[in-house]
């Protein structure tokens, strides 16, 4: 019998992210507490730029954006939010989207699998994803449960279970 396998990836659904940004932009422009603060939420492919005239307001806009991402089913682990910084008469925060698993994170996940998963489970790094193989599907499912329970700072999805 052939080995069973699955892939571990970390991807953000671009359409859902864009919808969350559009909802946040709409809410920020309509809310009373943002009137007169020149709020702005701009989407530019891989990052989101938040602008307001005070540091507190730009942090409040970040909170609105995070809320919209949660409602859209996108984990906050997928966001890389920076610190507010002044730019002229306004404050800005740049929020990046994490897409793919970095090599150091992949090595950390692979080490967790090697140390704590059943011995029949093997993993290999393939670019920005990991392939996990074993003869036993039960071992693969226990590996998924192990990784879901571990404290990693990236959002993982488990796909292509064969």
Q: How far apart are CA 20 and CA 12, in angstroms?
A: 12
Query: Is residue 156 within 8 Å of residue 138, measured between CB atoms?
Result: no
Q: How many of the other CB atoms lie within 10 Å of CB of 134?
A: 22
How far separated are the first and last CA of the chain, in Å rounded? 12
Q: How confident is the model at residue 71 (pLDDT cuts 50, 70, 90)?
A: very high
Q: Which residue has the higher pLDDT, 34 or 66?
A: 66
Burial of 154: CB neighbours in 10 Å, binned 0-12, 13-18, 19+? middle
Q: What residues contact residue 37 under an 8 Å CB cut-off, 6+ apart?
A: 52, 53, 54, 57
1 pLDDT more than 60:
no
How far are the Cα atoms of 11, 55, 117 from residue 99, in angstroms, in the given order?
5, 28, 25
pLDDT at 108 over 60: yes
pTM of the predicted protein model: 0.82
| pLDDT tens-place string over residues 136-162 | 888 888 888 888 888 888 888 888 878
pLDDT (0 to 100) of residue 2: 61
Residue 70 pLDDT exceeds 90 = yes
């Amino acid at each position: 019998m052939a080995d069973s396998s699955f892939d571990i990836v970390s991807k953000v659904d671009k359409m859902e992210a864009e919808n969350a940004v559009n909802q946040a932009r709409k809410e920020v422009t309509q809310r009373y507490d943002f009137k007169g603060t020149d709020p702005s939420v701009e989407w530019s492919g891989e990052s989101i730029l938040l602008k307001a005239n005070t540091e507190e307001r730009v942090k409040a806009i970040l909170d609105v954006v995070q809320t919209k991402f949660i409602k859209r089913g996108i984990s906050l682990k997928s966001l890389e939010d920076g610190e507010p910084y002044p730019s002229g008469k306004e404050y800005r925060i740049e929020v990046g989207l994490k897409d793919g698993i970095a090599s150091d994170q992949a090595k950390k996940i692979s080490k967790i699998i090697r140390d704590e998963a059943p011995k029949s489970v093997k993993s290999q790094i393939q670019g920005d994803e990991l392939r996990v193989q074993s003869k036993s599907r039960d071992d693969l499912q226990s590996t998924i449960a192990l990784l879901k329970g571990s404290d990693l700072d990236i959002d993982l999805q488990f796909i292509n279970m064969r």
